[in-house]
A and B are shown apart, each in its own frame.
Chain A
Amino acid sequence: MPETSAASGSGAKRQAAEGSSGTPRQPGASPEGDAPPTAATATAATGPSGTTGPPEATGATIRLEGLTKRYAGSPAAAVDDVSLEIKAGETVVLVGPSGCGKSTLLKMVNRLIEPTSGRIRIDDEDVTGIDAVKLRRKIGYAIQSSGLFPHMTVAQNIAQVPKMLGWPKPKIKARVEEMLDLVGLDPAEFRGRYPRRLSGGQQQRVGVARALAADPPVLLMDEPFGAVDPITRDHLQDELIRLQHELRKTIVFVTHDFDEAIKLGDRIAVLREQSHIAQFDTPEAILTNPADDFVSGFVGAGAALKRLNLTRVRDVEIVGVPTATVDEPLETISEMLGTGTTNEVLLLDPKQRPYKWLRRGDLTHAKGSLARAGTLVHDTVTRDATLRDALEAVLTDSGGRVAVTGRRGEYIGVVDLETLMNCVHELLDADRLEAIEHRHSLGESQARRTYAAQEGLTS
């Protein structure tokens, strides 16, 4: 269940990513170019989410303009002049080494940390000066190790923000049940529990439910999955992708784990010290064309392997192999193997699930007994599996191929090493081409602006 839902969510994520790569934007590159007319502020509530985001997005645009945080007594700014535009319904991951100020940057969005200078606009409303407490009630906030209040039950925790907003009791109660359902926890079982009686993963789910309880358009997540074990983290990430597919919030997610960033982000902002943006682009673009040594260092080795995580088996060519079911008479099968066109047959069980690989000679070795002949199928992948999973399966298989199965485990086709290699080459080539075009157009617009600036100076 999580596997399929995660994959469908990821599909949507990819679409969104492709959509955004069509209009590449470098942060701070052209803030004046797409500044909205001030008159549009009146229609801010509907305007931006209707025009810039995907049609069903419930999120809001976030625009950070020259955001700076300077702490007293330290000469260097913790966050220095950061400008960033996040589209409605988009998941942006801020990733960078520890101490780069990414958390500080995030906390300035809901003004847990007051910026020294700069503006924050949400849906074109300048929120830099409004009441911070009221602002935070409209922004979901989820943190590492969940931050659940241990003296309150799960239901009380989730109800906090609706309560502060003055919702009527029955509505809050209904909302709590709805949120627990949404994050995959049975309300009857969990609503009365105290946080300490939940596992780390469950706590984190409740944390997300609490953040989303009042249906905020924006969700800030500060390394929310940092404190859970890798397997649970993987599940939670899949869940978040599914949730985001349903809700289309604007999510700003902070992590130091680049793999997490690739998995979750529609776009990734790689930050260096003082939150300077080293690169702000789609995961594909960052993997294939890191802007500089810092980014490529952060991407780490194996960018091509990581790229495999971004493509699904359904996107590559699935070939067919000769198959037979176990019910078929032995003669038919040996005839298939004997004709010379193939030296391998995939044996399916009565439910059409891959069961055994039969090679020429296997039957004679086993003295004609089908039960003893051939090698059992150990591993299959679904069409929603990533190419990385498929590669793993292919590499561990002695025959260098893996069977692809459908929803109920039934046989669909086979992916082999050659298909995978061709596909990866194509992907990398395409990415590279796109990145070069992107850089080219960026350079052009920069040159145009420099020229305009010089003109402005001389005239």
Chain B
Amino acid sequence: MSFWEYLGNRHTQLLADSLQHASAVFQCMVAATVIGVAIAVLTYRSEWAGDLATTAGATILTVPSLALIGLLIPLVGLGVAPTVLALTLYGLLPIVRNAIVGLRGVDPALVDAARGIGMSRGRQLLKVELPLAWPPILTGIRVSTQMLMGIAAIAAFASGPGLGNSIFRGVASLGSANALNQVLAGTLGIVVLALLFDGAYVVVGRLTTPRGIRA
């Protein structure tokens, strides 16, 4: 069976896997963004706390994804839970790091001005600091998403959702008729999804970056 015939036969299954894959990555990205920005907001003002957050994120990233999911299975069981946990943890680092860099990079004179004209702490953050730090944060989100696309494939190891299932099935039955097709379909699917997401981020970036600070 050629690759195109395989795609024709299995397109419903592959489409469902792709959707699940995209949905898992998207939801984990939302969670990672919220948590990551929150961590950055809490830590960026203190030298050591910010560095600690960045280092902790980097440490998580050095744990091999297969190992992390494997470690999570005894704790939270199989399926969606370890997938979501692992993806969110991996997604944190680029976001936390970029958010801290972005927030620290806001011109102190502007923060001084915001305070000086009577903005409360929360208002300074929402109206001045976060909008100005948004471009680097968005870059962090983009990098995270690309990374999670690949890592999400490993989730199939813990019976998670997504295109990883197709890859794992292929790898498990190497030598059989469709093994290569399965691996190829899963891999190409992930690449296509990653490109689609990246395109979406370009649009989001255009729409959400204030005109005054757009490069």
Contact = CB atoms under 8 A, between A and B. Distances in A.
B64 interface: no
A139 B211 CA distance: 30
B26 to A, nearest CB: 27
Interface in B86-114: 109-110, 112-114
A141 B210 contact: no
Nearest to B131: A151
A149 B114 contact: yes
Interface in B192-215: 210-213
A136 B212 contact: no
Interface in A146-180: 147-153, 160-161, 164
Contact of A143 (B109, B127, B131, B132): B109
Given A134-B118, A164-B118, A150 B112 contact: no
27 contacts: A112-B112, A112-B115, A112-B116, A133-B119, A135-B118, A136-B116, A136-B117, A136-B118, A138-B118, A139-B118, A141-B113, A141-B116, A141-B117, A143-B113, A143-B116, A144-B109, A145-B109, A147-B109, A147-B113, A149-B113, A149-B132, A152-B212, A160-B117, A160-B119, A161-B118, A164-B118, A220-B116
A157 to B, nearest CB: 10
A357 interface: no
A210 interface: yes
Contacts of A145: 109
Interface string B18-51: 0000000000000000000000000000000000
B128 interface: yes
Chain A interface category by residue count: 20 to 34
Interface of B: 109-110, 112-120, 123, 127-128, 131-132, 210-213
B212 A150 contact: yes
A140 B185 CA distance: 64
Contacts of B109: 143-145, 147
B119 A164 contact: yes
Contacts of A110: 116
B131 to A, nearest CB: 5
Interface in A124-143: 133-139, 141, 143
Contact of A151 (B113, B117, B210): B210
A196 B212 contact: yes
A194 interface: yes
Secondary structure type dominating chain B contacts: helix
A352 B136 CA distance: 65
Closest 10 CB pairs of A and B: A147-B113, A194-B212, A137-B118, A141-B116, A151-B210, A136-B118, A151-B212, A151-B213, A151-B131, A150-B212
Contacts of B120: 133
A195 interface: yes
A278 B128 CA distance: 39
A381 interface: no
A53 B119 CA distance: 30
A147 to B, nearest CB: 3
Contacts of A149: 110, 113-114, 127-128, 132
Given A143-B113, A164-B123, 15 more contacts: A133-B120, A136-B115, A136-B116, A136-B117, A138-B118, A141-B113, A141-B116, A141-B117, A143-B116, A149-B128, A150-B132, A152-B210, A164-B119, A194-B211, A210-B117
Contact of B212 (A139, A153, A210): A153
A220 B212 CA distance: 27
A211 interface: yes
A147 B118 contact: no
- Determine which residue in B116, B117, B212 has the highest number of CB atoms from chain A within 10 A of its CB, and name it: B117
B213 A211 contact: no
A148 B128 CA distance: 10
B117 A195 contact: no
A210 B114 CA distance: 11
B67 to A, nearest CB: 42
B110 A147 contact: yes
A143 B118 contact: no
Residue with the highest number of chain B CB atoms closer than 10 Å, among A112, A134, A147, A211? A147
Contacts of A136: 115-118
Contacts of A160: 117, 119, 127
A151 B211 CA distance: 7
Contact of B213 (A139, A143, A150, A164): A150
Contacts of A147: 109-110, 112-113, 116
Contacts of B211: 194
A210 B110 CA distance: 13
A137 B212 contact: no
B103 to A, nearest CB: 14
